[in-house]
Structure 1
Amino acid sequence: MEIRADDDCRLWTATAGDGDPLVLCHGGPGMWDYFDDLAGILRATARVVRWDQRGCGRSQRDGPYSVTRSIADLDAVRDQLAGPRTALLGHSWGAHLALRYAIEHPERVSHLIYVSGTGIDPERAWHPHYERNLRLRLGTHLDRWKALGDRDRTPAEEREWATLQWSADFADDSKALSHAARMATPWLGINYDCNRAINAEVKQELRTNDLAARCRTLDVPVLIVHGTEDIRPQWAVDSLHEALPHAERVTLTGAGHLPWVEARDAFSRAVATFLAGTTPGR
């Protein structure tokens, strides 16, 4: 179903399951909701609310694209589909969005689940490690990925390039391409204007806003989840974990950037335990 943001932009949404609400925030920026499997896992635990962010996937391609606008859109989703207070689960860029929303509106957030995020360090020291690990993980696909990345691409080539890049986000080489192809089906097209605008703003925000100080005042329980095989280093979130007064951390062995895919049972247990209000096992 569609809802309308406060500026009348149409946002695609879907809900499944029963129980207390849990709003999912996908990564990108510029991508679309890829949480079919995750919603299936969590629907026994919560009433799962999914959405395509502004300009992405099935939502209206209408800016502006900014962190502030994304927070306002998330608030519209929360207000219309989740109620006065909800749990949030954000993945990758969506983890940052969910964190920023909780900082702005802590009274509207019951729990925050921060999955495969990259922390709040202004220098983004994790990024060179990510670039190196990406190339190592691509292995025999590296030359094709580089060749596609260096030229204008047809829609079919764009999907191929993205599938190759996303395959590096999975630890199991034998299944990585099929997992990535599933994310790319249906192919809804990456919004690069959205990607560039929000990434630039996040970099500036990390340099100029003291997010660590704001995190220290966040009176919301937080669960930080990371896979041991994510090509983004786990230490990138150390300072965030230290700044949050009510944070637990779970590291899932053998899982990459989408840990619910490669550590399904452990991920599901950690989330269900956290939402139930007890300490997740490590």
Structure 2
Amino acid sequence: MESTAAADDGVRLWADRTGRGEPLVCCHGGPGLWDTFGGVADLLAADLAVYRWDQRGCGRSQRTGPYSTARTLADLDAVRRHFGLERMALLGHSWGARLALQYAIEHPERVSALVYVSGTGIDQDAAWHAAYARARDERLGPHLERWRALKHKDRTGAEDREFSVLQWSADFADPARAMEHAERMAEPWFGVNFACNAALIAEDRTLWGTPELRAACAELDVPTLIIDGAEDIRPRWSVDSLEHALPRVTRITLKSAAHLPWTETPEAFRTTITEFLTNHP
């Protein structure tokens, strides 16, 4: 059921509900991308009501700023209100895992459980980014030269898509199917909002790795499931900082999966989430 949620400043946000049952609201990665959880909704629809949305400026939502963490958190709450949810399980993927964590810290009474998928912990990005870049370049293999050429030029819209697909191909464990999976992520193609990406990543440098964030995580009384793909090019040790800070945490690493584990190990992903949420209603 597709609909439009209105942010409190009037910006229109694309939203969707699939399935029946207890609510699970999903926060996509990026920033500057769009919802990639269609496969997740299909996997979980028999057990849960899955709510998806495009963050402001992204995908099918209105391409309007301002772009900030506070604004995006308020937009997430607008989606919650739009669907009439008093409490919800919250799933975040990649950068969306940061968003979901911050929302749970600010509004723990509205979050029944947190599912943190393929995130990078609570330290500064500088702590893990060099290891990530090395792994990315290795995973890109024969596509690395073309990816670098695109990265350092003014790109057309078609080149933006090519650049993104090449980069996303490194997010899958199986090289034989990596380009196929990455191409599927780009259909339909909505165009990356690089201004949104730059603004939110710059803000993250002031928010992440602070004693205040670590203390807030230590006080978070929300059951949390951390799901990692063992083959993610983002080093999994980066998530240790979050795991060690949270008081109520379960961590599962899925073999043969990388950054989008629901694509490469769908049944294990489905079982892990449904069992966790069943035990933490």
Give the TM-score band, short-chain normalised: over 0.9
Match of 1:5 in 2: 7
The one-letter code sitting in structure 2 at the alignment partner of 1:223 is L
Separation in structure 2 between the aligned mates of residue 174 and residue 264 of structure 1, nearest angstrom: 18
Report % sequence identity: 58
Question: Paired residue for 1:182, among 174, 181, 184?
Answer: 184
Match of 1:102 in 2: 104
SS across alignment from 1:21? strand
Separation in structure 2 between the aligned mates of residue 91 and residue 207 of structure 1, nearest angstrom: 19
Q: CA deviation at 1:42?
A: 1.1
User: Does residue 170 of the first structure (1) align with residue 172 of the second (2)?
Assistant: yes
The one-letter code sitting in structure 1 at the alignment partner of 2:21 is G
The 8 Å contact of residues 90 and 98 in structure 1, kept in 2 or not, is answered as yes
Q: CA deviation at 1:123?
A: 5.8
Following superposition of structure 1 onto structure 2, how do residues 8-157 of structure 1 map, counting pairs within 5 Å? 8-81=10-83, 83-122=85-124, 124-157=126-159
The 8 Å contact of residues 89 and 114 in structure 1, kept in 2 or not, is answered as yes
Match of 2:199 in 1: 197
Q: Structure 1 residues 185 and 123, CA, compared in 2 at 3 Å: closer, same or farther?
A: closer
Q: CA deviation at 1:122?
A: 3.0
The one-letter code sitting in structure 2 at the alignment partner of 1:30 is G
SS across alignment from 1:148? helix
The 8 Å contact of residues 23 and 82 in structure 1, kept in 2 or not, is answered as no
What is the aligned length? 278
Separation in structure 1 between the aligned mates of residue 220 and residue 161 of structure 2, nearest angstrom: 39
Separation in structure 1 between the aligned mates of residue 125 and residue 90 of structure 2, nearest angstrom: 26
Report the TM-score, using the length of structure 2 for normalisation. Answer: 0.97
Match of 1:226 in 2: 228
Q: Structure 1 residues 171 and 123, CA, compared in 2 at 3 Å: closer, same or farther?
A: closer
Separation in structure 2 between the aligned mates of residue 96 and residue 142 of structure 1, nearest angstrom: 28
Separation in structure 1 between the aligned mates of residue 135 and residue 125 of structure 2, nearest angstrom: 18
Report the TM-score, using the length of structure 1 for normalisation. Answer: 0.97
The 8 Å contact of residues 116 and 227 in structure 1, kept in 2 or not, is answered as yes
Separation in structure 1 between the aligned mates of residue 157 and residue 9 of structure 2, nearest angstrom: 31
Q: CA deviation at 1:124?
A: 3.4
Match of 1:255 in 2: 257
Separation in structure 2 between the aligned mates of residue 138 and residue 34 of structure 1, nearest angstrom: 21
Separation in structure 2 between the aligned mates of residue 82 and residue 136 of structure 1, nearest angstrom: 46
Separation in structure 2 between the aligned mates of residue 53 and residue 163 of structure 1, nearest angstrom: 20
Q: CA deviation at 1:239?
A: 1.3
Separation in structure 1 between the aligned mates of residue 235 and residue 151 of structure 2, nearest angstrom: 24
The 8 Å contact of residues 122 and 209 in structure 2, kept in 1 or not, is answered as no
The 8 Å contact of residues 87 and 110 in structure 2, kept in 1 or not, is answered as yes
Separation in structure 2 between the aligned mates of residue 269 and residue 207 of structure 1, nearest angstrom: 32
SS across alignment from 1:88? strand
Q: Structure 1 residues 161 and 123, CA, compared in 2 at 3 Å: closer, same or farther?
A: closer
CA deviation profile, 1:251-271 (whole Å, cap 9, x unmatched): 000101001111111110000
Separation in structure 1 between the aligned mates of residue 58 and residue 36 of structure 2, nearest angstrom: 11
> Which ranges of structure 2 fall in alignment gaps of 5 or more residues?
none
Q: CA deviation at 1:209?
A: 5.5
Question: Paired residue for 1:212, among 211, 214, 225?
Answer: 214
Separation in structure 2 between the aligned mates of residue 206 and residue 86 of structure 1, nearest angstrom: 25
The one-letter code sitting in structure 2 at the alignment partner of 1:244 is L
Q: CA deviation at 1:35?
A: 1.0
Separation in structure 2 between the aligned mates of residue 152 and residue 118 of structure 1, nearest angstrom: 29
Q: CA RMSD in A?
A: 1.0
User: Does residue 267 of the first structure (1) align with residue 273 of the second (2)?
Assistant: no
Separation in structure 1 between the aligned mates of residue 92 and residue 232 of structure 2, nearest angstrom: 16
